[in-house]
Chain A
C-alpha cells in the first residue's frame, strides 16, 4: 500500500457543483495534514491545513478521519478557476517539513 493514496481522477464537474476528494494514508502516527493545489505546469501552493476538528475556508472544507486514516476536501459551488490538481500531503513528524509525504494528486476540471 502506498503511504499516501489519492484517486487520480479526472473529476469533471459543472460550474456550481459540489465535489469531494479523499486521500488515505498508511502511517497511523502521521501528525499533520495538508491540501496543496497545483495548476498545470506550475508550482504547488498551500490550499489549507487539515485540523482534527475539521476546518473551513470559504467554499473549501477539510476533514480528518484518524480512525479510518483519511482526509477529505470538499469544494462547494465550484468555479472554473478551481480546475487544478489537488495534492494531499501528510507529515509523519509534526512541524518537520522534511517528513512530508506527497500524494500524486487528484485532477479536477470544472466545466462551464
Chain B
C-alpha cells in the first residue's frame, strides 16, 4: 500500500519556467490537498479538493493552478515559477465526513526557483 505518492522529489527551475507536481493516492480518499512548507511560516494550504470534480483555493493560491484528474490524482501546476515559490511542497489526502480524519502526506517535493 503506497499511500500518497508525489513526483518529482526534487526540482530546480529557472524563473519563468513552468512545471507540474504530480500526486496520487491509493487509499480511496475523497479529499486531497496541496501544502507548502517554508521556514518560519509553517504549513500553508495552497489548494484543496473536497471531492472528485471540485477544487477550491486555500490560504496561498496565487501563482498556482490545480487539477483533480480523477479520485486518485491531484496535480499542482506552476505556470511561471518565481523565486518566492522556492519551498517544500506536500500533497495530502483524507477521508471526508469522518471526524478528526487525519491527513496522510506524500514524501514532499523540494523545489528551488533560481
Q: Is the CB of B108 within 8 A of A42?
A: yes
Which range contains the number of B residues in contact with the other chain? 20 to 34
State how many residues of chain A have any CB contact under 8 Å with chain B: 20
Interface of chain B, main secondary structure: loop
Q: Is the CB of A103 within 8 A of B100?
A: no
Is B48's CB within 8 Å of the partner chain A?
A: yes
Q: Is the CB of A100 within 8 A of B45?
A: yes
Quick one: closest A residue to B105, CB to CB? A43
Q: Is the CB of A42 within 8 A of B107?
A: yes
Q: Give the docked Cα–Cα distance between A95 and B94 (Å).
A: 11
Binds B, one of A9-17, A44-52, A68-76: A44-52
Q: Which of B93-114 contact A (CB under 8 A)?
A: 94, 97-103, 105-108
Q: Which of B13-52 contact A (CB under 8 A)?
A: 31, 33, 40-45, 48, 50
Q: Is the CB of A104 within 8 A of B105?
A: no
Q: Is the CB of B105 within 8 A of A45?
A: yes
Residues from chain A with Cβ under 8 Å of B61 in the complex: none
Q: Is the CB of A43 within 8 A of B42?
A: no
Residues from chain A with Cβ under 8 Å of B100 in the complex: 32, 34, 49, 95
Q: Give the docked Cα–Cα distance between A33 and B112 (Å).
A: 32
Is A20's CB within 8 Å of the partner chain B?
A: no
Quick one: closest B residue to A105, CB to CB? B42
Q: How far is the CB of A22 from chain B (nearest CB, A)?
A: 17
Q: Give the docked Cα–Cα distance between A104 and B50 (Å).
A: 25
Chain B proximity mask over A89-112: 1 for CB below 8 Å, otherwise 0: 000001101101011110000000
A-B contact pairs, 8 of them (CB 8 A): A32-B100, A49-B102, A94-B99, A95-B99, A95-B100, A97-B101, A98-B50, A98-B58
